Amino acid sequence: MTLSLAPCLAVRGLAKHFTLHLRGGARLQVLTDTSLDVHAGECIALVGASGRGKSTLMKCLFGSYGADAGELRFESSAGPVDIATASPQRMLELRRRDIAYVSQFLRAVPRVPALDVVAQRLLDGEPAPASDDIEDAGHEERLAVARRAARALFSRLNLPPALWDLPPATFSGGEQQRVNIARGFVQPARLLLLDEPTASLDATNRRVVVELIAEAKARGTAIVGIFHDEEVRDAVASRCVELG
């Protein structure tokens, strides 16, 4: 694979600390002068001992945590943006169009069927219609297309069809994780963040996730992931970056 010269994501001098208010305001420095590049079509696996800031870095990239210092330069579909200084509104736009995040936990609106949890992700990433009339006329068709894409992923991930129209709150951990994975992969992203995507999965579905990651890399997605499963990490990682 030939990587483009300019990285899709360039992290420079990232620093992040937490204040432990229940411990007398003690300062916990998690990331200090962290730097890395991620190119399109590359999967970077973050490695290092627990507490070295792997999940913290992921949440900084997603905009859930603010950075104390440094830059997170990202080549979005609308041009370069520094995630470290982007407004909340800009981050919401990036999450709709360009950045996908698969965590270890599914967060979904109560009572929404699993199928629509995934389909809505695809609808959110579409350009806004030019008028309300166009939106009304095309909504059902766009929803049908999005649901077909969700069904295809559920089938690949061996999620029982009996669950597709049910809210995922009562699903098992492995079932919820498959909904989470489908939601992360249903819309092609420029940057894909994977925090233990195969946690709670059996061997068959771990192999499916490896295939989905390979397909995303082939499309040119830049991927940053945490993979405690060494077999999965060896199968998907272009290279490893050790933190701490």
Mean pLDDT of 97-112: 87
Q: What is the pLDDT of residues 168-187, one digit of tens each?
A: 988 999 999 999 999 999 99
Mean pLDDT of 216-232: 97
Q: Domains, the chain, ranges and CATH?
A: 40-63+88-242 (3.40.50.300)
Q: How many CB atoms sit inside 10 A of residue 232's CB?
A: 22
Q: Where are the alpha helices (DSSP H) in the chain?
A: 54-62, 88-97, 114-124, 132-156, 173-185, 203-219, 230-236
Q: Given this model, what pLDDT does residue 208 score?
A: 98
Q: How many CB atoms sit inside 10 A of residue 206's CB?
A: 17
What span, in angstroms and rounded, lies between the C-alpha atoms of 161 and 143?
A: 18
Q: Given this model, what pLDDT does residue 136 score?
A: 57
pLDDT for 242 beyond 60: yes
Task: Mention every residue, 6+ apart, whose C-beta is less than 8 A from residue 1.
Answer: 41, 42, 217, 238
Q: What is the pLDDT of residues 9-56, one digit of tens each?
A: 999 999 999 998 888 889 999 999 999 999 999 999 999 998 899 999
Q: Which residue in 66, 73, 127 sits closest to 96, CA to CA? A: 127
Dihedral through CA 98, CA 120, CA 151, CA 155, nearest 10?
A: 60
Q: What is the pLDDT of residues 184-215, one digit of tens each?
A: 999 999 999 999 999 989 999 999 999 999 99
Q: What is the pLDDT of residues 105-143, one digit of tens each?
A: 877 778 999 999 999 999 987 655 544 444 555 888 999
- The 99-102 sheet, strands edge to edge: 99-102, 191-195, 222-226, 43-47, 239-242
Q: Which residue in 97, 35, 55, 49 sits closest to 193, CA to CA? A: 55
Q: Given this model, what pLDDT does residue 189 score?
A: 96
Q: Which residue in 74, 39, 67 sits closest to 53, CA to CA? A: 67
Q: What is the pLDDT of residues 43-88, one digit of tens each?
A: 999 999 988 999 999 999 999 999 999 999 999 999 999 999 999 9
Q: Given this model, what pLDDT does residue 126 score?
A: 65
